[in-house]
Chains A and B, each alone.
Chain A
Amino acid sequence: MSNLTYGQVTKDIIRPLFKPSKLHALAILVSLACLSVGAYCWKVQLEEGLGVAGYEPPVMWGVYITTFVFWVGIGHAGTLISAILFLFRARWRTGVYRASEAMTIFAVMTAGLFPILHAGRCWYAYWLFPYPNQRELWPNFKSPLVWDVFAISTYLTISAIFFYIGLIPDMASTRDKVKGFGKKIYGALCLGWRGTDNQWRHYMAAYGFFAALATPLVVSVHSVVSWDFAMASTPGWHSTIFPPYFVAGAIFSGCAMVITLLIPMRALFKWEDYLTIWHFERLAQLCMLTGAILTYAYATEYFIAWYSDNPYEWGTFIYRPTGDYAWAFWLMVSCNCIFPLALWFKKVRTSLKWLFIISLIINVGMWFERFNIIATSLAHMFDPGAWVYYLPSKYEMGIMLGSFGWFFTWFLLFVKVMPSVAIAEIKEGVRPPLKADEEAAS
């Protein structure tokens, strides 16, 4: 980035905004089509009831909860990149953090739909919130499901504000580059930001505190999500390894999703100067690290199950690779533990084509990980008389497809109306214009 100038950065990043492109329009259409499939399936579910989902007691958590955990996990990489790497002063973060933060917001927004979809009678979804019923009985704050409400809503609020704060100076840059009505909109959105010394001073202080608050938050959110399972005595869930294991998995899947999103974006917007192979290699290295932690966690889970000498626990763990769901288990192991090993070769992780393919594989694998945890444990609990084989119905799969449509529609709209690479932060990485340099050159 050494040969860039401030003016060039502003121009390059704002240039692709609003410019219609066929490829982008096509992508939005495909996303909207997926979203409509989901909307139709939801309509059927509202009319017919939750029976259209493939639930078979005792399996009352299926694709909806799987997809909920999947999307919450996707969000984690965005906060990791924007907050944790900010505190670590990792320079490569500047190019990728805006898009990853946007991914976080939209992923958590997508995840937030699932408790509502899963509730069946979605018009009672507000029962999730902590307020007393008509007999003045409050919810049980010792329940992980209530923790989940607090964790997810805090996460969404804090990430949204963090994201918005980051956007303020860049929206001001956009305001000064566009004309007409757009100027008014961006002017209002950036709250009249002018980049004065007073503003920057408080801004940078606030930004640092947000990063410091978001860092433990991101770890807590997936820990709380994991407690939805680990607090229950269901075999295969009741384990203290769940929080770290879920957090590592979340970052693994999230980094893969960042790669999946950034590779096409870089080509579409011609941002080769800003999203270089170096950035992608760093992301791939994060995948290598978290993938290795995840593989280790899978192995530890087996060891604990065996070492506990608990027949129910061990039974579930034998059932996973050998029983009805063996296909899901081996799909998970190959997508999460075996294929990503290719990233350990520098040739693979510096090739965008291979990175893109592996990132898709990881996304599939991480969805199946959650499915594997949820479905196998519920289908194979304590009472053999109640064992069932749950398979998702077409309506559940339709709603899951719809969630991808919902996510990508938001993301694609975002990249066309907001600077998806942080202008002010990229400038921080560029050598400032100095008279001394010019004099030395001439």
Chain B
Amino acid sequence: MSSNVKGVFAHLDCLMTGIDRLERAGYDNMIVAAPLPRHEIEDALYKGKPSPVRWWTLCGGILGASTGFILQSLTALDWPMAIPGGKPLVAIPPFMVIVFECTVLFGGLATFLGMLYHCRLPTKSMEVEVCDPRFSDDHFGLILKDVDPERRQKAAEILAGAGAIEVTPTVSDSSEADAPTEEAPKPEEVTNVD
């Protein structure tokens, strides 16, 4: 049996309470599944740390701009026109159009790749607890990953106490049943359990 704990929430405020209580109890390896992006979830879990996708966009844009400029300049210099009408071979203003288009094209493609990379998409191997059709409809999911057997019961209690409509394993479950072959790393000592 999996060492994960899953709570299903029908209410956003209960979910936020659950996240908050679990964090204060020292559980930090959690996944929140939601049918829509909510800022409060992102703020609670990432504390305003921006997504690294922006670096992909920047690098893609710079790469695109340089590719566009180099492509045009080198091809113009490769076969210099005998009479360019007094105009420079490498002419900045008309080149800017293609430089701009390449910036957007490469920047967009890089953003897309960056998003797929950081979201780990495409994937077939998500935690089985996350794969719940309710999470794309009208419920929220809170999954704690690799919880120690002795702390699972406590986590389930916190989830149920926060207002989860369904908790796996159930709170009444005795935790000894699925204790063997536990190899998850030991979490640090918890001092601030309320």
A-side interface residues toward B, CB under 8 Å?
5-7, 10, 130, 132, 136-138, 141-142, 146-147, 150-151, 153-154, 157-158, 161-162, 165, 168-169, 172-173, 175-177, 188, 191-206, 209-210, 213-214, 216-217, 220, 224, 227, 423-425, 427-428, 432-436, 438
Contacts and interface: CB of A to CB of B under 8 A. Distances in A.
Contacts of A423: 35
Contacts, number: 197
Counting chain B CB atoms within 10 Å of each CB, the highest count among A138, A188, A199, A227 belongs to: A199
A91 to B, nearest CB: 15
Contacts of A435: 11, 13-14, 163
A332 B38 CA distance: 47
A363 to B, nearest CB: 28
A427 B45 CA distance: 21
Interface of B: 10-14, 31-38, 41-42, 45-46, 50-54, 57, 71-72, 75-76, 78-79, 91, 94-95, 97-98, 100-102, 104-105, 107-109, 111-112, 114-116, 118-124, 126, 130-131, 133-138, 163
B131 A194 contact: yes
30 contacts: A10-B136, A10-B137, A138-B78, A142-B94, A153-B105, A168-B121, A192-B121, A194-B136, A195-B33, A195-B35, A196-B31, A197-B34, A198-B118, A202-B114, A203-B37, A203-B115, A204-B37, A204-B51, A205-B54, A206-B51, A209-B107, A213-B111, A214-B108, A216-B104, A217-B104, A220-B101, A224-B101, A428-B36, A434-B13, A438-B11
Nearest to B68: A150
A210 B36 contact: no
Given A197-B33, A198-B118, A201-B51, 5 more contacts: A10-B136, A191-B116, A194-B131, A195-B135, A209-B54
Given A10-B138, A150-B101, A192-B121, A424 B35 contact: yes
Contacts of A158: 104-105, 108
Contacts of A427: 35-36
B31 A197 contact: yes
Contacts of B116: 191
A438 B11 CA distance: 10
Contact of A150 (B97, B135, B163): B97
Contact of B32 (A132, A138, A173, A197): A197
Nearest to A198: B119
Enumerate the 7 nearest inter-chain pairs by beta-carbon distance, A residue then B residue, closest first: A176-B133, A6-B138, A205-B51, A191-B122, A206-B115, A138-B75, A7-B138
B112 A161 contact: yes
A161 B109 contact: yes
Contact of B124 (A153, A165, A192, A199): A192
B54 A192 contact: no
B121 A199 contact: yes
B98 A209 contact: no
Nearest to A425: B36
Given A6-B138, A195-B136, A220-B100, A142 B91 contact: yes
Nearest to B110: A209
